[in-house]
Every structure is written in C-alpha cells, then in structure tokens.
Amino acid sequence: MRYCIIQADGMADEPLPELGGRTPLEAAHTPYMNELAARGVVGTFNPIPSGMDSGSDVGTLSVLGYDPAKYYTGRAPIEAAGLGLHLERDDVAYRMNLVTVEGDVLNGVMKDYSAGHISPEAAATIVAAIKVNFETSEIRFFKGLSYRHIMVWRNGPLNITTTPPHDITDRSTQEHLPRGNGAEELCTLMAEVSFFVREFVSRHCHGDVKANAVWFWGQGRAAVLPPVSRVFGGRGAIIAAVDLVKGIGALAGMDHVKVRGATGDVDTNYSGKGKAAVEVLEGGYTLCMVHVEAPDEAGHRGDPYLKKETIELIDAEVVAPVLRLAHEKKDIVVLVTCDHRTPCRIRTHATGDVPFVLYHPARRISAQTSINFCEKSCRKGVHFSSGEELINYVIDRKVR
Ligand SMILES: [Zn+2]
C-alpha cells in the first residue's frame, strides 16, 4: 500500500451563524472529500493530548501517528530541524522572535510579536550582527525567516516557563518573562541582545524597520522521532511550506518537496501541491503528506467565508488528483484530516476532536449513497482517542 495524508491545517470549526448554523467544512462544496467518505470510513480523533497546547507542532506529530506526550520536546527544536540544524544532546534550542516593544524588553509592553512582519533582508542583517557580537562556544544564533529565528545554548536553562510573544500583544513584558530555574540568565541575555538590536536598527536600518528587541521562548532539547519508514514500511515525503511542519518531516526522516508558489497562506499554490502529491506517490514513496496551512490562516482571521473557500480549493486541487490516482492504481490509501481546531469565532487554536475521512481500497466498506464530510457526520463515525490509534487503524498494524 501507498499512503497519502492530506492535512488541512486547522480545518475543524464550529457551527457559525454566518454560514446558517453550519461549519465551514459542512458548508463547503467538497465533492471529492464526500466521495472518499461514501467509499471509506469517517470519524473523529483527538490530536491534542490533554494538558498540551493546541498547535501544529503537537497536532502534526499526532497526524503522523506519533504520541506527542512521548516525542514533543518543545517548538524550537522542531523549527531548528526545519532549518536543517543538528542539535547535540546537551543543546537547548529557543525560538528567538524579533519583536517590537514599548519601553524596555524586561519592563515594557509587547507591541508586535513579529516586528511588523519584518522583511527577510532586514532580519538577516540584524541576526548577522547579533551573531558577530554575541556568539560564544556555548551560545549560537541561526537565521530563520522574517521574525522567526533560533538561538541554541549548550546546557541553557531548560526547566523554565516561557510565553509566546503572540499571546501577550499590548500586555506587560515584565509579567511574562521567563520564570524558573536559570531564567535570570536567559533574561539577562534577552536584555543585552535587545539593547544591541535597538541601537543597531536605529543606526543601520531604514526607519520602517520596527524590530527593537528579541524574545526567547519555545525551548527544548532535540526531538528524536522514529522514522516514518518504520511505521509505513517505506520512504516518506512531505509537501509543506511552513518551517514547523517541514521540521517534523525532517525529524521523521521524510524528504521535503518544495512547491513553487506555496506560501503557507490562503493564496498558496493549491494545484501545485496536488500535482506534487501525485508525483511523490508515483515516485517510489510509500508515504506522502501534503500540508496546507490555508484553513488555519482563515480561522486566525476569523473569516468563515474565506475558510470555506480554502477547503473547497483543497478539495478541488489537492484531494481530486489524489483520488483520481487512487481510482487508477488500487493501492493508494487516502486520509484527509487536520491537526487541531482553529474556530473562526475565537480566532485561535482549540483542543478537541477533529474529523477525518479514510479511504482504503483493500477494506470492504458497506456502500453508502451519499455523505457530506463534516464535523457532524464524522461524530457519527468511529472515534480514536489519539493520532497513534488512528494511524494504527490506517495501516492496519494489528493485521500486519
Ligand atoms: Zn494556526
């Protein structure tokens, strides 16, 4: 068997008055997902173990069948893997945001977690200067994209509480500084680097560069995942534009397939991703994961109409070509699901069950006339308490 997992990030939602009491998935015209549902199995599973934060880091591990409670070590180590960094055993990775604060970073107000979505060029100049001035044999800095960078500190403070800067917009920095064993050291470094960034930007950058501080969070040691080949029985490839998801693919030993025009946003190249999926499945891979960030972005914008449209595009441009191939080849298993809920009403991630549809050519499925693939119809189907359980079912692990 060959496996195609299509992950529509944050697709699951709630009934919305704007859509006549329907969810975006329920209201969307999705003939191909519906066909999968009519010939396959629908159901729900819980991608976010209780006590963990809802996000694509935890949720994507689940969608690939890994237990996040066992394998998740933090957000930064996953992003570091996405940048191609190798962490040693005693390394601790931290996400370093370039941010805009009012006042001092240790005693001010967080104005923008992204420094105005700083341009990659300006960010590269600033991070290069940070490297020159602050790198030691113990502490290193790595350039990511826009406001997202990585700091690696050998035996750096690990058992501390940090706060994502996007959670404290317009709030006091002082109340959300790193806390716990060794946190003062991290705060000192944050203050020193921030002081430098403010000076550097005012001297060397254009007036439209809004970065004046850095913020460390998401710390963790290297994550070690068993390779997908062990579970799926062959090579895997991941089609994703977002560094975080690319990082999970890298840690899982998957090849990354780049698609021109894939943006990680609602304007992504949907048909390019669909074509790439077919190429991967035809190219000797046993597992293809296609990640589309668009529904999550629409959810963050609180726009049900846009979210519905992104789901329709995924159906027509990604699911359709994979389904065509599955009709032709008879050995392709298709799973369409998502990593977490991003309800338009709250504009952020939420925990709880998400829907899935599984099409498996070798399984006998009692014929169904028609079914609309959505949260409601999936609640009447099978239920799995974790992604690990779902993937065991997908690959029929007990039978093999
Ligand atoms: Zn999101």
Asked, for residue 54, whether it belongs to a domain, the answer is yes
pLDDT of residue 364: 60
The CA 241 to ligand 1 mean position distance, Å, reads 14
Asked, for residue 192, whether it belongs to a domain, the answer is yes
d(CA 96, CA 134): 14
Last-in-domain residue among 177, 195, 220: 220
Residue 6 near residue 317 (C-beta atoms within 8 A): no
Based on the fold, state whether residues 46 and 91 are members of the same structural domain: no
Asked, for residue 24, whether it belongs to a domain, the answer is yes
Based on the fold, state whether residues 116 and 236 are members of the same structural domain: no
Based on the fold, state whether residues 263 and 339 are members of the same structural domain: yes
Task: Give the model confidence (pLDDT) of 151-204 as tens digits.
Answer: 999 999 999 999 999 889 899 999 999 999 999 999 999 999 999 999 999 999
Asked, for residue 203, whether it belongs to a domain, the answer is yes
Mean pLDDT of 363-387: 88
Based on the fold, state whether residues 246 and 381 are members of the same structural domain: yes
Residue 292: pLDDT over 50? yes
Residue 318: pLDDT over 80? yes
Residue 87 near residue 77 (C-beta atoms within 8 A): yes
Return the CATH number at 371: 3.40.720.10
Based on the fold, state whether residues 145 and 99 are members of the same structural domain: yes
The CA 10 to ligand 1 mean position distance, Å, reads 7
Based on the fold, state whether residues 229 and 211 are members of the same structural domain: no
The CA 266 to ligand 1 mean position distance, Å, reads 12
Last-in-domain residue among 156, 189, 220: 220
d(CA 153, CA 163): 18
> CA dist 147 to 58, 113, 284, 291, 297, Å?
22, 8, 37, 22, 17
The CA 264 to ligand 1 mean position distance, Å, reads 11
Task: Give the model confidence (pLDDT) of 37-81 as tens digits.
Answer: 999 999 999 999 999 999 999 999 999 999 999 999 999 999 999
- What residues contact residue 117 under an 8 Å CB cut-off, 6+ apart? 146, 147
pLDDT of residue 397: 72
Mean pLDDT of 301-324: 97
Domain span including residue 212: 82-220
pLDDT of residue 43: 97
Based on the fold, state whether residues 282 and 366 are members of the same structural domain: yes
Q: Which of 228, 231, 286, 290 is nearest to 259 (CA)?
A: 290
The CA 9 to ligand 1 mean position distance, Å, reads 7
Based on the fold, state whether residues 235 and 174 are members of the same structural domain: no
The CA 57 to ligand 1 mean position distance, Å, reads 10
Q: How confident is the model at residue 400 (pLDDT cuts 50, 70, 90)?
A: very low
Number of domains in the chain: 2
Last-in-domain residue among 190, 220, 250: 220
Mean pLDDT of 349-376: 88
Mean pLDDT of 286-306: 96
The three-point CA angle 263-265-268 to 5° equals 55
The CA 350 to ligand 1 mean position distance, Å, reads 10
Based on the fold, state whether residues 383 and 280 are members of the same structural domain: yes
The CA 56 to ligand 1 mean position distance, Å, reads 7
Please provide the average confidence, as pLDDT, over all residues in the chain. 95
d(CA 343, CA 222): 31
Asked, for residue 36, whether it belongs to a domain, the answer is yes
Based on the fold, state whether residues 265 and 359 are members of the same structural domain: yes
Asked, for residue 77, whether it belongs to a domain, the answer is no
Asked, for residue 365, whether it belongs to a domain, the answer is yes
The CA 1 to ligand 1 mean position distance, Å, reads 32
Based on the fold, state whether residues 164 and 282 are members of the same structural domain: no
Percent of the chain exceeding pLDDT 70 equals 98
Based on the fold, state whether residues 192 and 90 are members of the same structural domain: yes
Mean pLDDT of 293-298: 94
Asked, for residue 58, whether it belongs to a domain, the answer is yes
